Amino acid sequence: MKPKLVVFDIAGTTLNDREDTVSSAFLQAIQEQELTIGDNDIRWVMGYRKIEAIEMLLEAAGIAVSKEKIEQIHNRFIEILNQHYRQATIREYDGISALFSELRQEGIRVALDTGFSAATTSVITDRLGWLRDGLVDAIISSDQVGQGRPHPDMIQALMQQFHIQNPIDVAKVGDTPSDLLEGKNSGCGMTIGVTYGTHTREELEQHPHDHIVSSVDELKSLLLR
């Protein structure tokens, strides 16, 4: 049965982030405070609310700092990220707009949820034109709800917006473990991992999922079957 609503992640799922923009922004913001977290592979915090991701990175490195310092790092992270997304060439993964369009033609709602702030999300989506072009029905950011991923708050807010009572009618799509956990914690009828973003199939298979796909075409076939 086709879903009534598909909730997509942004970076690594719909927005092509092959340049590791988010990871670089995290590391720069932390290093500017003369802090070193050691391991530059920070994919494990991808998808989480960004201020929480910073806390997780510092805690894992055994670094204790004040809430004020974490807020400073987070604010600088947002500045770096927003500047990049305003100035750099950004693009979606091939076939994403067409997928959005086909889903909506089938009467399926299309929404985006993200660990980015609402400010960063607006920069990205304004440039890509998904709302302007009528390809996306709704966008929600983690700072617009009580809790970000892996909690179900964003998906529950979208369900309420579209008057969807049963989460079995919702599909969640993302490229990180936190996306998969969000889908399962929300009770989604389908939770789908994509391997063309930040994580491999082997990494995603360790977390709750219904399907794992390697391309937008494969994702399209699954959602529209």
> Do 182 and 75 reside in the same domain of the chain?
no
CATH of residue 167: 3.40.50.1000
Q: Identify the three-state secondary structure at position 114.
A: strand
Question: What does the pLDDT read at residue 200?
Answer: 95
> Do 146 and 205 reside in the same domain of the chain?
yes
- Domain span at residue 81 reads 21-87
Question: What does the pLDDT read at residue 19?
Answer: 67
For the chain, the domain total comes to: 2
> Which residues touch 204 (CB under 8 Å, ≥6 apart)?
175, 177, 180, 193, 195, 212
Distances (CA, A) of 63 to 58, 212, 217: 5, 35, 43
The CA R_g of the chain, rounded to the nearest whole Å, is 17
CATH of residue 25: 1.10.150
> Do 34 and 66 reside in the same domain of the chain?
yes
Q: How does pLDDT run across 151-185, given as a tens digit for each residue?
A: 999 999 999 999 999 999 999 999 999 999 999 99
pTM above 0.75, yes or no: yes
* DSSP structural state of residue 169: G
Question: What does the pLDDT read at residue 41?
Answer: 72
Q: Are 13 and 194 in contact (CB under 8 A)?
A: yes
> Do 109 and 179 reside in the same domain of the chain?
yes
Which regions in the chain score pLDDT beneath 70?
Answer: 19, 39-40
Question: What does the pLDDT read at residue 40?
Answer: 66
> Do 53 and 149 reside in the same domain of the chain?
no
Question: What does the pLDDT read at residue 202?
Answer: 97
> Do 129 and 208 reside in the same domain of the chain?
yes
> Do 68 and 132 reside in the same domain of the chain?
no
